[in-house]
Amino acid sequence: AEYVVIACGVWSPRIAEMAGANIPLTPAVHQMADVGPIDILQQSNAEVAYPIIRDMDTFCYERQTAGSMEVGSYAHRPIFMHPNDIPSNEESALSPTELPLTQDDFDPQMEQAIELMEMLGDAEIKYAINGLLSLTPDAMPVLGETPEVKNLWSAAAVWIKEGPGIAQLVAEWMTYGYPHLCDPHSSDISRFYPHEKTEHHIYARCAEHFNKTYGIVHPREQWASQRNMRRSPFYAREEALGATFFDARGWERPQWFASNAKLMDKFKDACQPREHEWDARWWSPISNAEHLQMRESVGMVDLTAFNEFDFTGPGALGFLQYMCVNNVDVKVGGSVYTPLLTPGGGFRGDLTIMRLGEQHFRVITGAFDGGRDKYWFTRHMPTDGSVTFTDMSSSLCTIGVWGPNAEKTMAKATQNIDAEGKLVAYDVSQANFPYGSVREVLIDGVPCWMFRISYVGENGWEVYTKMEHGLRLWDSIAEAGKEFGIIPVGMGVYAVTGRIEKGYRLMGAELESEYNPVEAGLARPKVKSADFIGKAEYLKARDEKPAAIMCTLEVLDHTSKSGIKRFPTGGNEPILTKDGERIVDAKGRVSRVTTAGAAPSLGKYLLLAYLTPEHAVEGNELRVMYMNELFPVRVARVGSQPLFDPTDARMKS
């Protein structure tokens, strides 16, 4: 067959392995018992007369099946089985996925079910099993073409309630090259990095999240298992500075630094704690202090979790032109920001490209996007040998240096070799080193690439070097910036506060395959003549009125009914009209928060969201629903223009 779809449930890894592919899931036990007969249910004379009950406190459910009640539990200990150990039909008393109940595991759950529904206590257990279902390391399905084998598709780790929708999604994906139904990035099989597909990682993560199946998981919740898998060369310095690390596909990334707590006195008004524990969870007011100190002086950010892909060869330019929306044919030492599109014109990727030579391009993409972007590029590469792909991600480390004193810091840190072979200070001024340009320089003898760009709205650079030079680079920049007040800055600034003040979009949040560059405010005045994936649909979108427009909203009043101030977390909270009605665009997409965060430089709390044209009007008042309460918000900006430094003067002058 030309195409094969593996939709084999708990057997999927075994089938994939036959073809040389890896579907990262494990069969896991879910205990279930059929209890009955129950008089009140038999009297209903219906297959289903009562609603399904989910007891979130005990992680159990009760579901009517005619005259009986099915009791299921996710509260017992995690019990896994290797796919190769699933018994055959001949070995199974019932079916291969219906194993004998381990009574000791189920007894506490049955007692809790009886406490909730006393009628269960008078009935018998007619049928009870350790049933097998599929679990993945991040509790999401595994969908899409396998990276290892072309035309071999996965539709695995799909539970019954999701089956019809996912079948439609995968069918559309295979037919059109992208699904119409919704953006699949969180379920895309290519999201996994190699270490995440090992049995050790699968079992550890599944053991951690199994008992959270009915749990309440915070949008910023961090994994406890499988930590310290990937560390930057700066880790020891960051740990000594009191970094709180968040996991980013195995990388340990500092979110904020305890060493900066003293700055909260300096910026007291902007660093107030959040009263409600939920809003304060996985957050610190230190991030706001780091933000303001960076805006005032200079900060350094660990960006080692970036993915770097090198494309070289005579066909590299033509290939990247076909893959990317914007013109990649810039001068050597230049760069371009560009989206990648699906054939339908929606977002497939979001990245920057540096041109390091006539036939040498380096793609920079985010920590969470590397697997998907690598798959997308390599799947489309020409087969004539004209393009060579090299994954540099484990070879390079990166430090971001930004702020009004970034130029002074790097002027002190950098050197170069002049025409006479002498080591001299390098001219890092905007005149010699303009925004968007890349230069090879020495920093304390360390060969580096300095890329003048910013995701936080400040003057500065991303500085790249080889991993083995990383610690020396960190120490050299820190020493050079000491007299200018340099501090370490966490991802709370880079990914949230600095970004949201500038209205910068994020792949997987604002940028999804359901939306196009026109709606996101990223359409440039002209479209390049070269063909590229999604061009026809993109041109069509440019000629039409957008169904939705990305906007920046400010929260006007945080006060809840209880009097406590609440702060939306950016967990897809609905944006509603003043009357509390849903906002749905012409394509059936609901307005929701894509990013939420403080804007310390502005003294505001901002939200990003797509709105319909009639609601996307500056000054228009709407509502955000958070924890089942409505809070007033106002449209502060429509489109790409940011609230902070709208002319980009801080970055480019």
User: What does the DSSP assignment read for 440-458?
Assistant: EEEETTEEEEEEE--SSSS
pLDDT digits (tens, 9 = 90+) for 191-202: 999 999 999 999
d(CA 256, CA 644): 22
Model pLDDT, residue 416: 79
Length of the chain: 653
**DSSP 8-state class, residue 573:** P
pLDDT digits (tens, 9 = 90+) for 328-354: 999 999 999 999 999 999 999 999 999
Three-class DSSP category at 13 = helix
Across 17-26, 385-394, 395-404, 410-419, least confident range: 410-419
Region 445-462: mean pLDDT is 98
d(CA 69, CA 39): 11
Tell me: pLDDT of 637 over 90.
yes
Tokens of 343: 């054939």
d(CA 331, CA 355): 7
Model pLDDT, residue 93: 82
- Residues 471, 234 contacting (CB under 8 angstroms): yes
Residue 83, preceding peptide bond in cis (omega within 30° of 0): no
Largest CA-CA distance found in the chain, in angstroms, rounded = 98
User: What does the DSSP assignment read for 69-86?
Assistant: EEEEES-SPP-B--GGGS
Handedness of CA 571, 576, 579, 582 (dihedral sign): negative
Instruction: Quote the mean pLDDT of the chain.
Output: 97
pLDDT digits (tens, 9 = 90+) for 532-562: 999 999 999 999 999 999 999 999 999 999 9
- Residues 309, 377 contacting (CB under 8 angstroms): yes
Interior angle at CA 356, CA 350 and CA 358, nearest 5? 110
Region 232-254: mean pLDDT is 99
Region 225-250: mean pLDDT is 98
Region 128-151: mean pLDDT is 98
Instruction: Name 382's Cβ contacts closer than 8 Å, sequence gap at least 6.
Output: 315, 319
pLDDT digits (tens, 9 = 90+) for 473-499: 999 999 999 999 999 999 999 999 999
User: What does the DSSP assignment read for 120-174?
Assistant: GGGSEEEEEEEEEEEE-TTSS-EEEE-SSSTTEEEEES--GGGHHHHHHHHHHHH
Model pLDDT, residue 154: 99
Tell me: pLDDT of 589 over 80.
yes
Tell me: pLDDT of 315 over 90.
yes
Rg over alpha carbons for the chain, rounded to the nearest Å, is: 27
Question: Which residues in 592-617 are b (16+ Cβ under 10 Å) and which e?
Answer: bbbbbbbbbbbebbbbbbbbbeebbe
Amino acid symbol at 341:
L
Q: How confident is the model at residue 384 (pLDDT cuts 50, 70, 90)?
A: very high
Tell me: pLDDT of 241 over 90.
yes
In the chain, the N- to C-terminal Cα span, in Å, equals 59
Model pLDDT, residue 504: 98
Tell me: pLDDT of 453 over 90.
yes
Handedness of CA 587, 592, 595, 598 (dihedral sign): positive
The three-state DSSP-derived secondary structure of 535-570 is HHHHHHHHHCCCCCEEEEEEECCCECCCCCECCCCC
Helices and strands counted in the chain (H then E): 18, 30
Region 252-265: mean pLDDT is 99
Q: Specify the residue for token string 């968007």.
A: 436
**DSSP 8-state class, residue 582:** B
Q: For 513, phi and psi rounded to 5 degrees?
A: -65, -15
Q: Specify the residue for token string 């925004």.
A: 435
Model pLDDT, residue 144: 99
d(CA 531, CA 529): 6
Region of residue 383 (phi > 0: left; psi between -120 and 50: alpha; otherwise: beta)? alpha
Model pLDDT, residue 367: 97
Which structural domains are found in the chain, ordered by start?
4-24+138-212 (3.50.50.60), 26-135 (3.30.9.10), 225-305+394-504 (3.30.1360.120), 307-391 (3.30.70.1400), 545-638 (2.40.30.110)
Q: How confident is the model at residue 423 (pLDDT cuts 50, 70, 90)?
A: confident
313, 294, 369: which is closest to 600 by C-alpha? Answer: 294
Model pLDDT, residue 50: 87
Tell me: pLDDT of 223 over 90.
yes
